[in-house]
Structure 1
Amino acid sequence: MLRDTIKKAQIAAMKAGEKERLHAVRLILAKIKDRDIEQRGSSAEIADDDLVTDVLQKMAKQRRESITMYEEGGRTELAAQEKSELAVIEEFLPQQMDEAETRAAIDQVKADTGAEGMKDMGKVMAELKARHGATLDMSKASALVKAAFS
């Protein structure tokens, strides 16, 4: 399980004395624990690896946005810190689909659902998330879906 892999990475970072990596792994584990607490009240049961992957994807997205803002604001030291955290987060994420694979998946979903125009974009996005949620960057996919319908 992905959660166990992350916990092992924490122990390895502690033993190796890698402070930055340890900090990033602890952030990941804290976010996962927060998500676990949120899920306690929910009746919907989510597979553990799906939950962890979702947390990691959101963390990666936040880091990318922060990097852009820090670089635009001239705060290179903060951008560098975010980049190092992003590198650790991406180690645990499943391999993401590249643009060609994403376009192929979009075309397949469009064919399977019979989507023809922008009015069907929500249906296509929902099906993409259901089929490829863990390996697909949904923000990039959204732009590609829009382009496919225009």
Structure 2
Amino acid sequence: MTTLKSKLQEDLTAAIRGRDELRSSTLRLTLTAITKEEVAGTEARELSDDDVQKVIAREAKKRREAAEAFGQAGRTEQAEKEKAEGEILAEYLPKQLSDDELREIVTQAVEEARAAGAEGPRAMGQVMKIVNPKVAGLAEGGRVAATVKKLLAG
């Protein structure tokens, strides 16, 4: 078993013993998503820590999007619950890059792409190819794409 998955299970056990309903339900749902990922496809496999981290990131993104949707619909109580679940999942993910750090990485990538002959908005694909390996797991794709567009346009 991967170390991250076993840590999730240990934390779930501790949350159940501590009667922490929110944490235990969040960790249960996340472990279920990990198990579903392991048995998806033609044959069962054990996920690596990176794969488990991707599943956690996907679950955290679902929580953020749900919190936003509930907030727009005026269901603040449900939105707060989703935000709290997202914060719990964020504890298991690497620290996200700040806007300044992301802008710096993207600026370097834009300069590299321009040096290779790519110009304007058409260079987006080339810049993303340079940036994505550097920020994998440290910044959400939408945030990266928005920063790339902004720097290519201006």
- State the TM bucket, normalised to the shorter chain: 0.7 to 0.9
Which has the higher mean CA deviation after the structures are superposed, 52-61 or 93-102? 52-61
Moved over 4 A (4+): 39-42
Which is greater in Rg? Answer: 2
TM-score relative to the length of structure 2: 0.85
**Unpaired runs of 5+ in structure 2?**
none
Matched residue, 2:102? 102
Q: Which structure is higher in RCO with an 8 Å CA cutoff and minimum separation 6?
A: 1
Matched residue, 2:72? 72
Matched residue, 2:15? 13
Matched residue, 2:151? 148
TM-score relative to the length of structure 1: 0.87
* Preserved CA contact (<8 Å) 1:94 1:134: yes
Which has the higher mean CA deviation after the structures are superposed, 61-70 or 103-112? 103-112
The alpha carbon displacement at 1:139 in A equals 1.0
Partner Cα separation in structure 1 for residue 42 and residue 93 of structure 2: 24
Q: How many residues align?
A: 148
Query: 1:92 is paired with a residue of what secondary structure?
Result: coil
Matched residue, 1:54? 54
The alpha carbon displacement at 1:91 in A equals 0.9
Q: Which digits, 9 at most, give the CA deviation of each residue in 1:76-116, with x for residues without a partner?
A: 12112211211111111100000000011112222334343
Identical positions, percent: 28
Matched residue, 1:124? 127
Partner Cα separation in structure 2 for residue 121 and residue 134 of structure 1: 20
